[in-house]
Amino acid sequence: MKTVLIFDDDQPLAETIKEAIEQGVQGSACIIEIDFGKSAERIKDVRPDAIVLDLMKGQQSSELPGEKAWKDVWDATFCPIVIYTGWEGDIQPTVPTNHPFVKLIAKGGGTLAAVVDALNGFAPAVESVNKLREEVDKVIHKVLRDTAGDGHIPLTNADHLVHAGRRRIAATMDDPTLIGNRKMTSWEVYLVPAIGQDCLTADILFKSGGSKDNPESFRLMLSPSCDLAGGGKGLPALVAKCMNLAVMIKKFKESLKAVNLSEGTISEKDLKEALRSLVLSQGTWNGWYPLPAFASILPACAANLKDLELVPIASIGPIDSSTHEFVRVASIDSPFREQVAWAYLTTAARPGMPDRDLKAWAEEVVIAASAPAPATSAATSTPAPNP
C-alpha cells in the first residue's frame, strides 16, 4: 500500500494516526488533510490507495463535515476506507456493515491498532484495484490511439466518441494481449450483483428462505431479455431448476459406459478429460448446463434445462429485497448469456424422432469409414463441361 489519505481536523491526532500507520503498514506513506471541505478535490488529486476519515468537527460536536467526504467516496471516488470517528449516530449514506472495503472504528484508547489492522486487511484488495485500474487505462489508451486517433470515429459530434469508445472499451477488455494472455476463470462468466433493473436471460435467481449452499435454491432464467423488460407485460418467466452436480455426473458416467467409452469404473483423470472435452467445452450436455461456483453467492451446480418452472416476474426482486419470492443474485455475461439461450433452444427444439436401431447404424458407419477408398480415375476426376 503506497498512499493513505487522512482526513481529521485535529492536527496532533492526525500526526499520531500517520505515525501509527507508517510504522504498522508496510510501504505506506500518509498525507494529512485537516479541511473536510477539500475532500473531493484532495481525493481526486491524490488518488489514495486507502482513506482514514474522521466525521466530527472537534471532539465534542454534532457537526459532521466529514459526512460529505464519506458521501464523496461512496458516490463518486470509491476506494477502501476506514471511518475512524467518535460519532455514534447515523450518517448518510448508511455505512454498510459487511462491506469488505469499508470499516467503521470508534475512536478511543488503543483503537489505532484496529485502524492499522484494517488497512493491512485492505492490502490485497488495494493491489487488485490498482491492477484493474492499470488494465482499464491500457484499454482506454488503445481505443483512443488505434480507433479514435486513426480517424475511424468522426469527431464532428462529441457523443460519437463517447458511444463508440464505450462499446469498444467493453469489447477490448478481453483482449489477451492487454491482460497478460491469462485464461478466463470459470466464475468470470458472472456479473455480481446482477446488472440492470430488469431481469435478463441467464440471470441467476435465489429462492428467498433457501440455503445458499443448496443448488436446489437456485434458478436459471431462460426467458428472452426482451420479454422480461418493463416487468414482462404480465407474462411469467421461464426458469430452469438447478441441481446438485452429482446428479449430472452420475448420468454422464452412465452415458460413457453406454457407448463403451469406459469399462467398469472410470478413473478421475479420464472423467475430468471427458468433462472438459464433451461437456465444459460445449457449455452444455444432454439438457444440463453446468454453473461454476462464485464465492458465497452460488455453489457449483447444474441447471436442468428439462426441469422447468414458470415464475411471476413480479415475484423477482433485487438482491437486497426481503419481500420477493426470488432475488437476482447474478447475471451471466455475454457470450455466455447467448450460450444459455442456445443450450435451451437445442434442448427444447428437438424434433420427435422414431426409435431406430442406432447400434446397427453405428456399426455400418464404422465399417464404411474403414473400407479402402475407391480408386479415382482421370475420367471421373475431371469435371464435366458446363452445358
Cα within 13 Å of Cα(181), Cβ side: 0
| Per-residue model confidence as pLDDT tens digits over 5-38 | 999 999 999 999 999 999 999 999 999 999 988 8
| Residue 97 near residue 3, CB atoms below 8 Å | no
Residue 322 CB contacts under 8 Å (≥ 6 apart), including other chains: 208
Per domain, the residue ranges of the chain are 1-183, 189-350
- Average pLDDT estimate for 312-326: 93
- Provide the H-helix boundaries in the chain: 11-24, 39-46, 66-75, 112-143, 158-172, 225-228, 245-258, 268-274, 336-348, 358-370, 378-381
Q: What is the SS3 assignment for 104?
A: strand
| Per-residue model confidence as pLDDT tens digits over 217-247 | 999 999 999 999 988 778 899 999 999 999 9
CA-CA distance, 325 to 125, in Å (whole number)?
34
Beta strand 326-332 with 316-317 is: parallel
CA-CA distance, 56 to 152, in Å (whole number)?
52
CA-CA distance, 365 to 378, in Å (whole number)?
28
- Average pLDDT estimate for 112-137: 91
- Judge if 1-183 and 189-350 fold alike in CATH terms: no
Options 3.90.1150.10, 3.40.50.2300, 3.40.1230.10, 3.10.20.30; CATH for 1-183 is: 3.40.50.2300
| Residue 348 near residue 341, CB atoms below 8 Å | no
- Average pLDDT estimate for 253-264: 73
Specify the length of the chain in residues: 387
**289-312: burial string, b at 16+ Cβ within 10 Å, e else:** bbbeebeebbbebbbbbeebeebe
Task: Give helix 39-46 / helix 66-75 axis angle, nearest 10°.
Answer: 50
pLDDT reading at 286 higher than 90: yes
Least confident stretch, 22-31, 257-266, 281-290: 257-266
Got the DSSP string for 158-193? HHHHHHHHHHHHHHHTT-TTTTTTPPPPGGGGEESS
> 68 φ, ψ to 5°?
-65, -40
- DSSP code of 280? I
| Residue 337 near residue 202, CB atoms below 8 Å | yes
Helix-, strand-, coil-residue percentages of the chain, each rounded to 5: 40, 20, 40
CA-CA distance, 167 to 159, in Å (whole number)?
12
- Average pLDDT estimate for 88-103: 89
| Per-residue model confidence as pLDDT tens digits over 127-169 | 888 888 888 898 888 888 887 766 777 777 778 888 888 888 8
CA-CA distance, 35 to 7, in Å (whole number)?
7
What percent of the chain lies above the pLDDT cut of 70? Answer: 93
pLDDT reading at 279 higher than 80: yes
Q: Is 317 exposed, middle or buried (0-12, 13-18, 19+ CB in 10 A)?
A: middle
Task: Give helix 158-172 / helix 112-143 axis angle, nearest 10°.
Answer: 110
Specify the fold of 189-350.
SH3 type barrels. (2.30.30)
Higher-pLDDT residue of 239, 182: 239
CA-CA distance, 80 to 323, in Å (whole number)?
31
